[in-house]
Structure 1
């Protein structure tokens, strides 16, 4: 649900509640009118303040979204670089291990041949 819908619902509820309270009050008509005018001014001020706060909240949310997207993009780039660095660091070790395994196999074959000749 959007914040504007919530704000609109709050505003409508506030206005209807104030109007109902004023209409059910046991006061003379002129006093009710004065109270209604004073309350409507307060409601307008509250609505304007609410609009400002919603606008600020919306801009903050957009700023947070943009910063988050930028940060995620940067993190993705860093992770790719880390993987590339890890791979370049580990490749020589893998080659060295393969060479050692091949040497061990060759030595095992030599030992096998030596014992099979005897």
Structure 2
């Protein structure tokens, strides 16, 4: 690195530091007290608003939980009813299929016997 680059960087750093120091310089005592009081009032108002929003959020969460539990119970009952209806609807078909399978099995046994005799 060249010495000119180092010197230029050092100079820019000094200027930026001085500008920052001037911008952040302490204010007179009465002005600081007024700013502090104003900020304090703002902070209190913001804290109250946050407190209110947290309470609203808590109430919303409790309400959502209660509604979810109710909905899950209702859905569970509906699903049980749907399963019961489905089972009662398919039971005759299952019996019919079992009967048909038994008939096919008996017919296969008869055909087997017929061919084994010859």
TM-score (normalised: structure 2): 0.69
Q: Which stretches in structure 2 are left out of the alignment for 5+ residues?
A: 1-23
Q: Name 1:41's counterpart in structure 2.
A: 41
Matches within 5 A, 1:89-104: 89-104=89-104
TM-score (normalised: structure 1): 0.69
RMSD: 1.8
Q: Which stretches in structure 1 are left out of the alignment for 5+ residues?
A: 1-23
Matches within 5 A, 1:14-33: 26-33=26-33
| 1:27-77 deviation digits (Å, cap 9, x = unpaired) | 221221122111111111111111111111111111111111111121111
Query: Which structure has the higher relative contact order (CA within 8 Å, separation 6+)?
Result: 1
Provide runs of 4+ in structure 1 moved above 4 Å.
none
* Deviation of 1:114 (Å): 3.5
* Deviation of 1:25 (Å): 5.2
Helix, strand or coil at the partner of 1:89: helix
Give the total of aligned pairs: 95
Helix, strand or coil at the partner of 1:26: coil
Structure number with larger C-alpha Rg: 2
